Structure 1
Amino acid sequence: MGSVFGSRSSKEEKASTDKVTDGLSNQTRHPEAPKGRPTPKRAVAQSQRRGSVASTGDRKEDAKRARERRRADMTRQREALANGDERYLPARDKGPVRKFVRDYVDSRYSVAEMFLPLAVVILVLSMVRVPALQNIALLLWLAVIALIVLDSIGLWFRLGKALKQRFPNEPTRGAVPYGLMRTLQMRRLRLPKPQVKRGEKP
């Protein structure tokens, strides 16, 4: 009985070894993916490389290396927000749809981007103990709010139409709100930094 089980176990081990050897030889003979199969995306390949980093066995050293990797990733992300490098942008800013929205917004003037400086002026006027100036401040406040609402509604429809024309077969969910939120920031404070000039066609 022992010899029977021993021979069966050795046969199974040999078959398993043969499969591993065949797999390694196939990888050696075919370093690239077969024709017709998609090449893995860069982000997937990078994540696979990061995940394949072997542990040193020292928890403190592993934690130190993880912090260094995170620090390097954050540095690349900050640089990407400044220069528009698509490879390292945050997920919410990645892709041709989001880039088009940013360029569309940055190429136009919007009332919303002047909200902060106008709000400061209105606040100062409202603090002056002169009834006439306080009334002016209130009227200015109402006018600014109304203009921002009207401008945002117009942008919503124009941007939505432009997205349908430019990306008819791609998902654009959340793209218009993304553009509206960008209009609330002053141009020089926007991130990622604007890559087009005023009046330039995106």
Structure 2
Amino acid sequence: MFGRKKTLNEELADQPPPRPGAKNRPTPKRREREAANRRPLIVDDRKAAKARDKVARREAMAKQRAGMLTGDDRYLPVRDKGPRRRFIRDAVDARWNIGEFMLPVMLLVLLLSFIRESWALMSVFILVYGLILVAIIDAVLMWLRTKKKVIAKFGQAEKGDAFYAVMRAFQMRRTRMPKPLVDRGQHPS
């Protein structure tokens, strides 16, 4: 109390040398830690908080989209996760599906429906119902073949697998999410 002040060298000499594996600093007081963690429940600057949230949400969505494009299981939604769903996706993506040509043909049918000739109306009728029938038959046959492979590899097919495969088969290849990771003809084993 009444002595002289220590110099910096004397203070450093009084401290024990740092030990490897130890934290080498005093434990912070509880009051200090609580003060450091204290934040208001309602932020003062709502505009800045909204902008921060928007940026964070946009970054998370970009990260998730990049993961979806690469087929990374961590970023896929629950319906697309797992080895069984990846196998089904690869089986559908490896073949030509008639269902994926429905949208372009339906655009052609829409154009033909504006023509009020009998041959145009008959071709619209045949194209629409014929394509739908052929696409359904193709999807059923595709699922039966894929189901055999799924059962052989995983033991059984789950409840939503058929719907998952058929819906993917009816999407145009470019618009499928997650993106196809196999080329046509490259069937999974």
Q: Give the TM-score normalised by the residue count of structure 1.
A: 0.66
- What is the CA deviation profile of residues 52-93 of structure 1, one whole-angstrom value per residue up to 9, with x for unaligned ones? xx7733433896566555433322211111111111111111
- Quote the Cα distance in structure 2 between the aligned partners of 1:91 and 1:66: 24
Equivalent position amino acid for 1:129 in 2: R
Seq. identity, %: 38
- Quote the Cα distance in structure 2 between the aligned partners of 1:201 and 1:159: 10
Select 1:84's aligned residue among 71, 81, 97. 71
SS at match of 1:74: helix
The match for 2:174 is: 188
Select 1:177's aligned residue among 163, 167, 172. 163
The match for 1:96 is: 83
Question: Would you say the 8 A contact 1:77–1:90 is kept in 2?
Answer: no
Equivalent position amino acid for 1:84 in 2: G
The match for 2:151 is: 164
1:150 aligns with 2:137: yes
Task: Summarize the Cα distance change of 1:153–1:124 in structure 2 as closer, same or farther, 3 Å threshold.
Answer: same
The match for 1:29 is: none
Q: Is there any run of 5+ residues in structure 1 with no aligned partner, and where?
A: 1-53
Equivalent position amino acid for 2:92 in 1: V
Moved more, 124-133 or 111-120: 124-133
Question: Would you say the 8 A contact 1:101–1:176 is kept in 2?
Answer: no
RMSD between superposed Cα atoms in Å? 2.4
Question: Would you say the 8 A contact 1:97–1:172 is kept in 2?
Answer: no
- Quote the Cα distance in structure 1 between the aligned partners of 2:53 and 2:158: 34
Task: Summarize the Cα distance change of 1:75–1:139 in structure 2 as closer, same or farther, 3 Å threshold.
Answer: same
SS at match of 1:59: coil
Corresponding pairs, count: 149
- Quote the Cα distance in structure 1 between the aligned partners of 2:168 and 2:155: 23
Select 1:74's aligned residue among 61, 66, 88. 61
Where do 4+ consecutive residues of structure 1 move more than 2 Å? 54-73
> Offset at 1:103?
0.5
- Quote the Cα distance in structure 1 between the aligned partners of 2:173 and 2:128: 21
The match for 1:112 is: 99
- Quote the Cα distance in structure 1 between the aligned partners of 2:135 and 2:57: 39
SS at match of 1:191: coil
In our comparison, the structure showing a higher alpha carbon Rg is: 2
Task: Summarize the Cα distance change of 1:87–1:128 in structure 2 as closer, same or farther, 3 Å threshold.
Answer: same
- Quote the Cα distance in structure 1 between the aligned partners of 2:74 and 2:130: 42
